[in-house]
Amino acid sequence: MARPSIVPIALTLDDRTGYTLWAPPWEEDGEEWQAFLGTTEGERAVVHLFPSPERLAAFCRTSTDHDLADHPVWPVVAGLGADDLTPDDDHRFDLDGVYDIAAEEPDRWAVEELAATIDIVTRLAECLDTDGDEDDGDDDESQFEAVAELAAKPEIGSLGLGVDAFVGRSGEEAWLGVGGVLDELWEDVVEELNEHFDWTGAGSAALEDYPAASEVEEVDADEVPEDRSDDVVLVDEEPAAATATAPVRTIARGGRINASPDEVASAAAFWESVGILPVEIVVPEGAGVTLRCYVEDVARFLGRDGEVFVFDTPADLARFCKGTEDHDLTEIASWPEVADTDVPPLPADQDRYDLTELSEVLSEVADGAAGLVDHRAFAQPVEGVRDLAEYAGLTRVDELLAPTSALGRAVARGEVEPQAPLRQEDAGELRRQWDEVVTQVSGALVFRD
């Protein structure tokens, strides 16, 4: 289980966005705990929501009358400002937008976003259900019957299998099944939850303080600092020493391209429409951008004969695409649109793979930073490596990522227990094997002018 942490999140419902805090599951005194920023009075538990990160930060600085006051890292959170309490994209949950997501094609973004939204809904229900806290037998009725019914549906369970569950004709039917369940239950789910949402911020705000959700999204995209990691997690090294400053370890994703979130989102509309996506790769030799698509679920990159062409900047990549040199993407049906477009090839966060940072993280763990990094550190870089190895035919990478190797076992554990902390005694061998993986991948990259 991961070390105790507190994560800022945003919930959008009825066209207003509220900010609060979530403490993901952690273990203390042999018991598992999970909590949200809220209070319990009698038989009713509530989550406090605030109209802005600034209002949330002000509350955290002054109040200790809430369910997170005894959390091991609360003394750290109480000293944070609005920038640090602004949720990243992975921790924004639009309860209003669930129907729109279900109406989209079941690509990985739609599946992951829908799965994450339903996951946070079930976690909220678990924490807010005071009936479930009483041990009066099996006849207790939950305050969240619709949430429980939703979570029990096999159609909803299929979201946990990822986008592969929605491929082909059977996948299309499965995705329609998800939409059908949401049509049947979602209104009841949000009604149950909203009864436990305190939109007054524990008496510090009023409903008229909340701008429309669309306005909030535009403001927040501009206000989030450029150097802020997508995976900021506050971790307390010694929970008993609550007054000490807890160390913070952030894992960033590449970050060699200077583009605003709005610019990336605008460009993504075109690249998703043609089915060919920009990708950033960072290796010890340098950072570069390329293009990737999937043909019958097999990764194919901008390159030739197993070599991947990478370019220093999106502008360099765009100039190459307008040229006449032959490569493995020219036969893709949508390639003429790519060659003709002026939309810059800006990689989205999920398509940026910094292979060097995992090496640095493993070195830090080996040097004594055990407990500050969990197995989620493998997910993003390994995803990129697998695609590159598949395209370039790197059999040695497949061997190093196989379940029989130390690295393969760590990656596999990260898929089923992502919050498990990396151990210091394992990190040295993992670093050695990962460095070999990076060397293999680097050999397949051709940096072009």
What is the model's pLDDT at position 222?
Answer: 45
Contact yes or no for 48/63 (Cβ under 8 A): no
Count the neighbouring beta carbons within 10 Å of the beta carbon of residue 92: 22
Domain boundaries, the chain: 7-223, 251-449
- Rounded percentage of the chain residues whose pLDDT exceeds 70: 86
Quick one: pLDDT at residue 216? 56
pLDDT digits (tens, 9 = 90+) for 191-248: 999 999 999 999 988 888 888 876 655 444 444 444 433 333 343 333 333 322 222 2
Q: Are the C-beta atoms of residues 222 and 30 closer than 8 Å to each other?
A: no
Residue at 169: amino acid letter? R
Q: What is the mean pLDDT of the chain?
A: 85
pLDDT tens digit string along 417-430? 888 888 888 999 99
Average pLDDT over residues 75-90: 87
Strands 277-283 and 298-301: unpaired
CB-based contact 27:170 (threshold 8 Å): no
| Residue 229 · residue 252 · CB < 8 Å | yes
Q: Which of 218-222, 253-257, 329-333 has the highest mean pLDDT?
A: 329-333
3-state secondary structure string, the chain?
A: CCCCCCEEEEEEECCEEEEEEEEEEEEECCEEEEEECEEEECCEEEEECECCHHHHHHHHHHCCCCCCCCCCCHHHHCCCCCCCCCCCHHHEEECCCHHHHHHCCCCHHHHHHHHHHHHHHHHHHHHHCCHHHCCCCCCCCCCCHHHHHHHHCHHHHHHHHCHHHHCHHHHHHHHHHHHHHHHHHHHHHHHHHHCCEECCCCCCCCHHHCCEHHHHHHHHHHHCCCCCCCCCCECCCCCCCCCCCCCECCCCCCCCCCCCHHHHHHHHHHHHHHCCEEEEEEECCEEEEEEEEEECCEEEECEECCEEEEECCHHHHHHHHCCCCCCCCCCCCCHHHHHHCCCCCCCCHHHEEEHHHHHHHHHHHHCCCCCCCEHHHHHHHHHHHHHHHHHHCCHHHHHHCCCCCHHHHHHHHHHHCCCCECCHHHHHHHHHHHHHHHHHHHCCEEEEC
Which residues, including other chains, have CB under 8 Å from residue 326's CB and lie 6 or more apart?
304
Which pLDDT score is estimated for 140?
55
pLDDT of residue 81: 87
Structure-model confidence comparison of residues 282 and 255, the more confident one: 282
Give the pLDDT score at 206.
87
Mean of the pLDDT values across residues 252-279?
81
